[in-house]
Amino acid sequence: MVQMLAGQMELSQKAKEAMAKGSFKIRVVRNGMFQQLTFSIKRETMGNVTFVVLATDRLVDISELTKIAEEMGLPVEAQNGRAFPRGTSATDFAV
């Protein structure tokens, strides 16, 4: 799917697996319960930058999205928002 990121971020092993498979199952807390959601890799455009993001069509708390983004090392998007790993932006994940 996505071969290599143009940014200067070094991807974690989990992020490399997710990019190779095209999707990744992640255990998240939703409404006080643990659930396994499938996040798929997709390309997003913000301004003139196209970047990769792990996305799901479910509602996930922003705090949980931030935790997942930190753990995976990739931007994460749900129905209610998007989170980037600390200290990064869309340009760090440009393709």
pTM of the model: 0.78
Q: How many domains does the chain have?
A: 1
User: What pLDDT is stored for residue 6 in this prediction?
Assistant: 44
Query: What is residue 10's predicted lDDT score, i.e. its pLDDT?
Result: 65
Is residue 7 included in any domain, yes or no?
no
Evaluate whether residue 5 is within a structural domain.
Answer: no
In a domain, 79, yes or no: yes
**Residue 1 in domain:** no
For 29, the domain range is: 13-93
The SS3 call for residue 60 is coil
Give residue 9's pLDDT. Answer: 54
End-to-end C-alpha distance for the chain, whole angstroms: 11
- The answer to the question of residue 38 being in a domain is yes
- 6, part of any domain: no
All residue ranges of the chain with pLDDT < 50 are 1-8
Q: Which element (helix H / strand E) includes 30? A: strand 23-30
35 within a domain of the structure (yes/no): yes
Distance in angstroms (rounded) separating the CA atoms of residues 33 and 88 = 29
